[in-house]
Amino acid sequence: MTLAAIVILALGGLALALVAPNFDERPTVLGGISGTIFAVTLLLGFGAMQESGILYGAVQLGSVTGLALVLLSLVGLLVAAGATVRENGFALGTGEVHALVMWGVLGGVLLVGSAHLLIFYLGLELSAYSTYILVGYDRNRRFGTEGAAKYMILGAVGSSLLLFGMALVYAETGSIGYAGIAAGLSYNVSALAIGGLVLMLIGIGFKLAWVPFHAWAPDAYQGAFPLMAGYLSVAPKTAVALGLAVLLARAFGGAADMVQGWITALAILSVILGSIWALTQTDVKRLLAYSTIVHMGFLGLALATGLLVGYVAVGYYLVAYIVTSLGMFFTLEGLEAHGVESNLEAWKGLGRRSPLAGVLLAIFILSLAGVPLLAGFLAKLYVFAALAQEGSWAALIAAVVMVVFGYYFYFRLLAALFLEEPAAGAEAVRLSPTAITLMVILALAVIALGVWPQPVLQWLQTAMAALV
The reply on whether position 436 binds another protein by CB under 8 A is no
Among 118, 171, 400, 444, which residue sits at the site for another protein (rule: CB under 8 A)? 400
d(CA 326, CA 234): 8
d(CA 343, CA 416): 10
d(CA 3, CA 349): 50
DSSP assignment of 389-427 equals HHT-HHHHHHHHHHHHHHHHHHHHHHIIIIISPPPTTPP
* Run of H or E including 69: helix 63-82
- Angle (CA) 263-466-205 rounded to 5° is 20
Main-chain dihedrals φ then ψ at residue 245, nearest 5 degrees = -60, -40
The reply on whether position 384 binds another protein by CB under 8 A is yes
d(CA 452, CA 218): 33
The reply on whether position 357 binds another protein by CB under 8 A is no
The residue among 259 and 442 lying less far from another protein, judged by its C-beta, is: 442
Specify the stretch interacting with another protein by CB under 8 A; choose among 18-26, 161-169, 282-290, 372-380: 372-380
The reply on whether position 366 binds another protein by CB under 8 A is yes
Smallest separation (angstroms) from another protein to the CB of 418: 7
The reply on whether position 441 binds another protein by CB under 8 A is no
The reply on whether position 46 binds another protein by CB under 8 A is no
Among 14, 55, 92, 397, which residue sits at the site for another protein (rule: CB under 8 A)? 397
The reply on whether position 453 binds another protein by CB under 8 A is yes
Smallest separation (angstroms) from another protein to the CB of 361: 14
d(CA 234, CA 108): 11
Half-sphere exposure of 335 (CA within 13 A, CB side): 30
Among 457, 463, 466, 467, which residue sits at the site for another protein (rule: CB under 8 A)? 457
CB atoms within 10 A of CB 193: 23
The count of residues interacting with another protein (CB under 8 A) is: 35
Among 271, 378, 431, 442, which residue sits at the site for another protein (rule: CB under 8 A)? 378
The reply on whether position 415 binds another protein by CB under 8 A is yes
The reply on whether position 373 binds another protein by CB under 8 A is yes
The reply on whether position 404 binds another protein by CB under 8 A is yes
State the Rg of the chain over Cα: 21
d(CA 279, CA 321): 20
Among 204, 268, 294, 385, which residue sits at the site for another protein (rule: CB under 8 A)? 385
- Enumerate binding residues for another protein (CB under 8 A): 308-309, 312, 359, 366, 371-373, 377-378, 381-382, 384-385, 387-389, 391, 393, 396-397, 400-401, 403-404, 407-408, 411, 415, 418-419, 453-454, 457, 461
